[in-house]
Structure 1
Amino acid sequence: MSNDIKIRRGLDIKLKGVAEKKISEAPRSKNYAIKPTDFHYVTPKMVLKEGAQVKAGDTIFFSKYSDRVKFSAPVSGTLKEIRRGAKRRILEVIIEADAQDDFVDFGKKDPAKMNVEEIKEHLLESGCWPFIKQRPYDIVANPADSPKAIFISALNTAPLTADVEFLLKDRQADFQTGIDAISKLTEGKTHLSVAKGSDSWLSGVKGVELHNVSGPHPAGNVGVQIHHTDPINFGERVWVIAPEDVAIIGHLFNSGKFEADRLVAVAGSEAPNAQYFKVRVGANMQDIIGKVPANVRIISGDVLTGDKVANAGYLGYYHNTISLIPEGNDYRMFGWLPFKDNDIPSMSRTSLSFLFPNKRYKVDTNLNGEERALVVTGEMEKVMPMDIYPMQLLKECMAQNIEKMENLGIYEVAPEDFALVDYVNTSKVEAQAIIREALDVMIKEVG
């Protein structure tokens, strides 16, 4: 049986500013941040107070709902500040970094000589567990669960995102060790998806079920790959993990250190230096990209699913891309006229972009319209490569009709699977936000 996954429905959005495959070492940030907001449905309980001295790997806080799930300091230094928002919600934990890191020694381990519980305990104690997320619900995995499978997507198809093979080119040994460890966490298969036709060392990784994926975005989304390989049914759990996080886990076993280093692609038409930078999780944005003009949108992540951050903000825990595009402060007069402006990549033929399939565009954040009624146009279905009805599911999510949400496939989707729906639908509804709220309702009502 072929392991190929061929996606036909979707849309590739070609933007200017792809990161050059050149690596620079970003300056060491004075301050690093762990943001509890990066871990959806985690309520943090602080272990340390302001002023405490920490080593890289020391536990900073744990999850209120599972005290085994711990979140560790990415660097050594002083816990400088706990920033809170409304109702004293913790927004950021700021660590003032030492000149050099002092690491907690968790000890070198051989996954082949460890059982499932020993591997889980090692990941939990070191703070590596939050790298593992679960479907359904797209939240940090519960260590008490046993997943039916584990999925790793080594393919990014979203606009301007980092090239996975380039991210891991010097981390092959750590990646294989990470695979050896996490594959023991399931009695099922560990699935690894790569781009079809690529002559990559990833195709030779041992201990995985390999899938060759082709097609437009969102072919690289792990949810799409799960849907076409081993769909999630009611009561089942599937764990997913990003390939660079597999390498961090492998490095933990090989060195005994929680060393959360990343290669980050700085990309976009407004990027002063579109290339890759070696950074640590939680690094300060300004130390990576420098100071940028006020009319530039800084996005931690890709342009479809990332988070807007300030120039003095911090890199997201799961992000390997920083996107810089213009703010949408300008409005096009008579922009509704067909063929008036052809500098926008569009799925419809109201612009001439369909005549230039390989052209790269400079886009801004302008929505080009306000939210309006949902109408049946077929746009959503053209970019949804799953056997679900996106418009009907969105309507039931807005109504919070649990039974119909279940029937329409809520367990199979995550907000990122609706990113293209956000982009192409003329109703301008915030589809990702609607799906996220619906998943939260399902967690509370169904569990």
Structure 2
Amino acid sequence: MIRIKNGLNLPIVGSPLNLIDESKRSTWLAIIGDDYKGMKPQMLVEVGNKVEIGQKLFEDKKRPGVFITSPGAGEIINISRGEKRKFLSLTIKLASQEQSVSFKPIMTKPSNLMNEEEIKKVLLESGLWTALRTRPFDKTPYAGTRPAAIFIKAMDTNPLSFDPEIIIKKYEANFYDGINILAKLTSGKVYVCVKKNSSIKSAQPQVSVEEFSGLHPAGNPGTHIHYLDPVSENKTVWHIDYQDVIAISKLFADGKLWTTRYVALSGPHALNPRIIKTRLGTSIDDLLSGEVKSPSETRVVSGSVLNGTGYFKEKAYLGRFHHQITLLAEGHNRELFGWATPGLHKFSVTNVFLSKLLLKKKFAFNTSVNGQHRNIVPVGSYERVLPGDFLATNLLKSIMAKEIDDSINLGCLELSEEDLALCTYVCPSKTDFGKNLRELLDVIEKEG
């Protein structure tokens, strides 16, 4: 077992109950462009077209053969683009009776008898190939590539998340079948990363079940990869989430795309925090009816409070890789000399408030950053929350300065935005390191 000592568990009120609500229904859904980093779509449909579940919507021009398919059946209502015709979203109004594309015709044999190329073909045609992401760069892999190893995330340490094993136990056979299918895509190890004392086991020699414990980001793929099989300029691994592993198994078993998604509805402004059974790309408005305390004073976040996406017109839908919808109070009000108060109701990483004496207290966090942007102040905050063998301050300064060689030598290729989310949270300078890391990784990838 690997214990993570450097990190931070945010004590936020509004954790979800281990109760699954299956009553919510979706009427709209969308594909969000920013969920697929670096993608340049070649559209295969247009506004007004009727589509089925699993039908191809567009192909990635940069990754020929990689398709995005529809998670719902209905009519395409809008294709939204931004500056320089950047793809923002594709919106579908769901039909009352949904039809699915069958992928049985390209499955000539059971999955346990398929070879690597046959499995890849099914994943590419169905669109489930995009559930896989690479390190370095944290992007969809190119068709025809092979990883040195595959990491399956079967734990979650994000604030206000739920235990993935609640869902895995419901689909246990599918989960193990999905692992066996993925194992055929690499000659290396398949690492299944789980919590301490997990019930998940495997006797297959190629599959290694690894336990992690301790502080967030103990559940992040970047942490798992760093400790178990680090990447480099010449070495690539893939990672995938447990719900997508189940979806892969169901695809090969039923020949149809499984679009179910389990998410946590949580946060200080959630009236009834719990787990909700919904679907990929669902409209957040469909889920939040009657669920929000003071809607006009609430910030809706698709994903974690640390690395989620804000709710607005083109992104009023569940993100492709998100398992949370978080409701926070808007931090409109500024407080005069707030740093000088006793702070019994404020959380601080640097122990400047009396609230540190209340060890089990949880706080109603809001969206205020409590300050403005300023120069980086090296006071040891980053080292407290970035686990692993990193020189945190040096790495972050190199990323901000866009020093490619220094950043690579200091380990930036192992990271994605979510791995630096805690550094952003504790930063005295209020710097968004995730955004700057993405800009640097794009430059490194472009320069080869």
The alignment's TM-score, normalised by the length of structure 2, stands at 0.95
In 2, distance between residues paired with 1:26 and 1:369?
A: 41
Cα shift at 1:205: 7.4
In 2, distance between residues paired with 1:393 and 1:6?
A: 23
In 2, distance between residues paired with 1:399 and 1:62?
A: 35
Matched, 1:439 2:441: yes
User: What residue is the counterpart of 2:32 in the other structure?
Assistant: 35
User: What residue is the counterpart of 1:135 in the other structure?
Assistant: 135
**Aligned residue pairs, count:** 440
User: What residue is the counterpart of 1:300 in the other structure?
Assistant: 302
In 2, distance between residues paired with 1:345 and 1:142?
A: 43
Q: Secondary structure at the match of 2:431?
A: coil
Partner deviation per Cα, 1:29-85 (whole Å, 9 max, x = no partner):
222101121111111111011111111000001101122110111111111211121
One-letter code of the match for 1:310? F
In 2, distance between residues paired with 1:89 and 1:222?
A: 29
Q: Secondary structure at the match of 2:201?
A: helix
One-letter code of the match for 1:314? Y
Contact kept, 8 Å, 1:194 with 1:203, in 2: the verdict is no
Q: Secondary structure at the match of 1:112?
A: helix
Contact kept, 8 Å, 1:37 with 1:91, in 2: the verdict is yes
The alignment's TM-score, normalised by the length of structure 1, stands at 0.95
Identical residues among aligned pairs (%): 38
Contact kept, 8 Å, 2:300 with 2:310, in 1: the verdict is yes
User: What residue is the counterpart of 2:111 in the other structure?
Assistant: 111
Q: CA RMSD in A?
A: 1.5
Contact kept, 8 Å, 2:24 with 2:277, in 1: the verdict is no
Where in structure 2 are the equivalents of 1:368-407 lying within 5 Å? 368-407=370-409
Cα shift at 1:336: 1.8
User: What residue is the counterpart of 1:260 in the other structure?
Assistant: 259
Cα shift at 1:443: 1.1
Matched, 1:269 2:268: yes
One-letter code of the match for 1:379? S
In 2, distance between residues paired with 1:26 and 1:430?
A: 37
One-letter code of the match for 1:203? K
One-letter code of the match for 2:311? V
In 1, distance between residues paired with 2:166 and 2:354?
A: 34
Contact kept, 8 Å, 1:43 with 1:64, in 2: the verdict is yes
Q: Which of 316, 319, 324 is equivalent to 2:319?
A: 316
Cα shift at 1:204: 4.5
Contact kept, 8 Å, 1:298 with 1:325, in 2: the verdict is yes
Contact kept, 8 Å, 2:220 with 2:419, in 1: the verdict is yes
* Unaligned residue ranges in structure 2 (runs of 5+): none
In 1, distance between residues paired with 2:124 and 2:49?
A: 22
In 2, distance between residues paired with 1:392 and 1:406?
A: 12
Matched, 1:411 2:410: no
In 2, distance between residues paired with 1:71 and 1:272?
A: 35
Contact kept, 8 Å, 2:18 with 2:162, in 1: the verdict is no
Where in structure 2 are the equivalents of 1:213-228 lying within 5 Å? 213-228=212-227
Matched, 1:72 2:69: yes
Runs of 4+ in 1 over 4 A off after TM superposition: 204-207
Q: Secondary structure at the match of 1:169?
A: helix
User: What residue is the counterpart of 1:193 in the other structure?
Assistant: 193
Q: Secondary structure at the match of 1:139?
A: coil
User: What residue is the counterpart of 1:46 in the other structure?
Assistant: 43
One-letter code of the match for 2:213? S
Q: Secondary structure at the match of 1:67?
A: coil
Contact kept, 8 Å, 1:84 with 1:92, in 2: the verdict is yes
User: What residue is the counterpart of 2:154 in the other structure?
Assistant: 154
Contact kept, 8 Å, 1:251 with 1:257, in 2: the verdict is yes
Where in structure 2 are the equivalents of 1:3-42 lying within 5 Å? 4-42=1-39
Cα shift at 1:28: 2.6
Partner deviation per Cα, 1:147-203 (whole Å, 9 max, x = no partner):
1100112111110013211132311122112111111111100001111124x2x23
Partner deviation per Cα, 1:16-36 (whole Å, 9 max, x = no partner):
111111112243322210112
Q: Secondary structure at the match of 2:184?
A: helix
One-letter code of the match for 2:318? L
User: What residue is the counterpart of 2:347 in the other structure?
Assistant: 345
Contact kept, 8 Å, 2:136 with 2:232, in 1: the verdict is no
Contact kept, 8 Å, 1:301 with 1:320, in 2: the verdict is yes
